[in-house]
Amino acid sequence: MMQIVFNNPVLYVADYPAQNGVEVIDKRHGVGAFIRDAAAQRFREDFSQFVSGEPDIEAFGDFIDDYQALLNQPALMH
Protein backbone atom coordinates (compact mmCIF):
# COMPACT_ATOMS: atom_id res chain seq x y z
CA MET A 1 0.00 0.00 0.00
CA MET A 2 1.25 3.46 -0.92
CA GLN A 3 1.28 6.29 1.60
CA ILE A 4 1.76 9.91 0.50
CA VAL A 5 4.32 11.33 2.88
CA PHE A 6 4.71 14.82 1.46
CA ASN A 7 3.40 16.99 -1.35
CA ASN A 8 4.21 20.66 -1.99
CA PRO A 9 4.93 22.76 -5.11
CA VAL A 10 8.57 21.53 -5.19
CA LEU A 11 8.52 17.93 -3.98
CA TYR A 12 6.32 14.82 -3.87
CA VAL A 13 7.23 11.84 -1.68
CA ALA A 14 5.30 8.57 -1.42
CA ASP A 15 6.33 5.64 0.76
CA TYR A 16 5.82 2.01 -0.28
CA PRO A 17 6.64 0.04 2.89
CA ALA A 18 5.78 -3.37 1.41
CA GLN A 19 8.34 -2.82 -1.36
CA ASN A 20 10.81 -1.08 0.99
CA GLY A 21 10.77 1.86 -1.40
CA VAL A 22 10.16 5.57 -1.71
CA GLU A 23 8.96 7.45 -4.79
CA VAL A 24 10.48 10.93 -5.02
CA ILE A 25 9.43 13.52 -7.61
CA ASP A 26 11.19 16.84 -8.14
CA LYS A 27 8.33 18.94 -9.52
CA ARG A 28 10.68 21.76 -10.54
CA HIS A 29 12.37 19.60 -13.16
CA GLY A 30 9.69 16.96 -13.80
CA VAL A 31 11.93 14.06 -12.82
CA GLY A 32 11.79 11.38 -10.18
CA ALA A 33 12.83 7.95 -9.06
CA PHE A 34 11.73 4.93 -7.09
CA ILE A 35 14.39 4.41 -4.44
CA ARG A 36 14.62 1.02 -2.70
CA ASP A 37 16.21 -0.79 0.20
CA ALA A 38 19.12 0.93 2.00
CA ALA A 39 18.91 4.04 -0.19
CA ALA A 40 15.20 4.37 0.62
CA GLN A 41 15.87 4.04 4.32
CA ARG A 42 18.58 6.69 4.11
CA PHE A 43 16.21 9.03 2.23
CA ARG A 44 13.47 8.48 4.84
CA GLU A 45 15.87 9.35 7.65
CA ASP A 46 17.31 12.39 5.86
CA PHE A 47 13.86 13.66 4.90
CA SER A 48 12.43 13.18 8.38
CA GLN A 49 15.29 15.13 9.88
CA PHE A 50 14.97 17.83 7.21
CA VAL A 51 11.24 18.48 7.68
CA SER A 52 11.53 18.46 11.47
CA GLY A 53 13.35 21.79 11.11
CA GLU A 54 10.26 23.39 9.48
CA PRO A 55 12.09 24.48 6.31
CA ASP A 56 10.85 27.19 3.96
CA ILE A 57 9.95 26.42 0.34
CA GLU A 58 13.41 27.35 -1.00
CA ALA A 59 15.06 24.87 1.36
CA PHE A 60 13.15 22.00 -0.29
CA GLY A 61 14.91 22.75 -3.57
CA ASP A 62 18.27 22.70 -1.83
CA PHE A 63 17.41 19.41 -0.11
CA ILE A 64 16.29 17.60 -3.25
CA ASP A 65 19.29 18.88 -5.23
CA ASP A 66 21.40 16.48 -3.15
CA TYR A 67 19.43 13.61 -4.73
CA GLN A 68 19.46 14.79 -8.37
CA ALA A 69 21.81 11.99 -9.45
CA LEU A 70 19.08 9.48 -8.54
CA LEU A 71 16.18 11.42 -10.06
CA ASN A 72 16.60 10.44 -13.69
CA GLN A 73 13.15 9.28 -14.79
CA PRO A 74 10.66 11.67 -16.43
CA ALA A 75 7.73 12.31 -14.11
CA LEU A 76 4.42 12.11 -15.96
CA MET A 77 1.50 13.81 -14.27
CA HIS A 78 -2.02 12.65 -15.08
Q: Per residue in 2-56, pLDDT tens?
A: 999 999 999 999 999 999 999 999 999 999 999 999 999 999 999 999 999 989 9
Number of structural domains (the chain) is 1
- Going from the C-alpha of 58 to that of each of 10, 15, 34, 37, 76, the distances in angstroms are 9, 23, 23, 28, 23
Geometric angle at alpha carbon 18, from 64 and 36, rounded to 5°: 35
Three-state DSSP string of 49-61? HHHHCCCCHHHHH
pLDDT reported for residue 77: 63
Q: Which domain holds residue 51?
A: 3-74
CA separation for the pair 7, 78 (Å, rounded): 15
For the entire predicted model, the pTM comes to 0.89
